[in-house]
Amino acid sequence: MVSPGSFAAFAALVFLMVVVPGPSVLFTVSRALTVGRRDALLTVVGNAVGVYAQVVAVAFGLGVLVQASATVFTVIKLAGAAYLVYLGVQAFRHRRRLSDALAGAVRTTPGRTLRVLRDGFVVGFANPKSIVFLAAVLPQFVVTGAGHVPLQMLVLGVCLPVIAVLSDSAWALAAGAARTWFARSPRRLELIGGTGGLVMIGLGVGVAVTGRKD
């Protein structure tokens, strides 16, 4: 199984990767500004599940395929980029509705919650930053002679969603506090809603043009 030293070393690398703002952090901040703190925190949870789904995929072979095939990498990347652009366009189009949403009670229906979790999951699973990191780094911490290689990867990979939840939640709470100030003025709120949408669109475009670092 995984030794404590290997786990700690991998966790340290994960921490360094997570604290540098990437697609997940920017998406979380945009969601906090456009739809509020609650949905941003749900996005963080969905994102963490999506990232761990990457760990599972790498453990059972997708990581090798991504490293070997530029086509697979491009498909995953473009799918995530397209979804980000779609969410950004929706946020920009509905920016004038933010003041109405704040004035009324926020509905927490199961359907709404599942949609927010789904959005976070899709962005987390299609995040090229983490899939490339996992595909390149995770296998290096596995002791092949100890057997149970996929299980070792799954155990090591647990630290990624845990650290991501802690880091991204802090970003979500900070952005949510900023949104409270903007909510005091409908004009400010419309501005931040449009800006958040444009950030998501720009993020999607940025992800789309990001190349492999082979």
Task: For 82-108, write each residue's pLDDT tens digit.
Answer: 766 877 787 677 665 555 444 444 444
CB 126 within 8 A of CB 77: yes
**Confidence at 183, pLDDT banded by 50, 70, 90:** low
pLDDT reading at 53 higher than 90: yes
- Asked if the structure places residue 33 within a domain, the reply is yes
The more confidently predicted of residues 58 and 68 is 58
- Asked if the structure places residue 213 within a domain, the reply is no
| Amino acid (1-letter code) at residue 31 | R
**Confidence at 203, pLDDT banded by 50, 70, 90:** low
CB 128 within 8 A of CB 77: yes
> Percent of the chain having pLDDT more than 70?
69
Domain count, the chain: 1
**Confidence at 159, pLDDT banded by 50, 70, 90:** very high
Output the six-digit token pair for 77. Answer: 């990347």
**Confidence at 55, pLDDT banded by 50, 70, 90:** very high
Phi, psi of 46 (to 5 degrees): -60, -40
pLDDT reading at 214 higher than 70: no
Q: 52-66, 71-85, 136-150 — which is least confidently predicted?
A: 71-85
Give the alpha-carbon dihedral of 123, 127, 131, 134, to 10 degrees.
Answer: -90
Residue 162, pLDDT score: 94
- Asked if the structure places residue 209 within a domain, the reply is no
pLDDT reading at 69 higher than 80: no
- Asked if the structure places residue 123 within a domain, the reply is yes
Instruction: Provide the residue range defining the domain that includes 44.
Output: 4-12+21-204
C-alpha span between 143 and 174 (Å, rounded): 40
C-alpha span between 54 and 49 (Å, rounded): 9
- Asked if the structure places residue 167 within a domain, the reply is yes
Question: Which among 23, 43, 54 has a CA at the least distance from the CA of 135?
Answer: 54
- Asked if the structure places residue 214 within a domain, the reply is no
Residue 189, pLDDT score: 58
What average pLDDT does the structure give for the chain? 76
Q: What's this model's pTM, rounded to 2 decimal places? A: 0.68
- Asked if the structure places residue 210 within a domain, the reply is no
Mean pLDDT, residues 29-45 taken together: 85
CB 62 within 8 A of CB 76: no
DSSP letter (8 states) at residue 90: H
- Asked if the structure places residue 8 within a domain, the reply is yes
C-alpha span between 17 and 167 (Å, rounded): 11
